[in-house]
Amino acid sequence: MNEILQGLVQAFWLVISLDTELIAISLRSLYVTLTALLISTLVAFPLAALIVVTRFRFRRVVIAILNALMGLPPVVVGLLVYIIFSRSGPLGVLGLLYTTSAMIIAQTVIITPLIASVAHQSMRELWADYRDLLISINTSKPQRIGTLMWDSKRALITACLAGFGRGIGEVGAIMIVGGNIDNATRVLTTAISLETSRGDFSLALALGFVLISLALSVSFATHWFGKTERGGLW
């Protein structure tokens, strides 16, 4: 109990004193996860909408795989990305291992299926409503995809938040591909992991509280800008 209190107090002081290392680590966390999130949404949203509006042979198999990939163990993703980018790996020449780029790639792999699945679910329901109308109006496939994405934007924001939550709190993959190098690839989660193993629980807790408040602020900000729960049903 005492340690939690100490952690809170220390977190408070770290934030109040604008601790440079804490700020650097937090910003790096945000940079890695938000970049991964951006790439994921660019891939996942159109992909999900395309699966919704297109009938093809292995559609159900693709959806099942997408859903299964939601539970992809981050450690395994980290391991695979590590092998691919390690010196002797197929993309070793790029020299990305132990950089934030490798961390972004790993996180993108982890959160894309999650975002795509959530987006697919909500757009599928909207498509059930819209299908006849959009076909009747003689819309092209890109127009259908655009309409579905625009009109389910609230659900897509939720998908982003789910992806952000999974990314920002993830430690297994980025620890492996990033290496938790001070001033280079250390982020909040890997720092917490390190401080815990070093026995500095209060600092670990302080970092944990910062991490939680970061996640909460992003969520609140998104809801605020997205005007969720205001002005009508959606």
Does the footprint of other proteins cover residue 23 (CB under 8 A)?
A: no
Q: Output the smallest distance, CB 125 to other proteins, in A.
A: 11
Q: Give the residue from 159, 111, 127 showing the smallest Cα distance to 49.
A: 127
Which residue from 4, 65, 94, 135 is in contact with other proteins, where contact means CB under 8 A? Answer: 135
Q: Output the smallest distance, CB 199 to other proteins, in A.
A: 54
Q: Output the smallest distance, CB 114 to other proteins, in A.
A: 24
Q: Give the residue from 151, 157, 158, 165 showing the smallest Cα distance to 52.
A: 151
CA distances from 210 to 65, 163, 204, 224 (A): 35, 19, 10, 21
Which residue from 133, 181, 184, 221 is in contact with other proteins, where contact means CB under 8 A? Answer: 133
Q: Output the smallest distance, CB 115 to other proteins, in A.
A: 21
Query: Do residues 29 and 228 touch, judged by C-beta distance below 8 A?
Result: no
Radius of gyration of the chain (CA): 20
Does the footprint of other proteins cover residue 130 (CB under 8 A)?
A: yes
Residue type, 197: S
Residues that bind other proteins (rule: CB under 8 A) add up to a total of 16
Query: Where along the sequence are the contacts to other proteins (CB under 8 A)?
Result: 126, 129-130, 132-133, 135-139, 143, 147, 151, 232-234
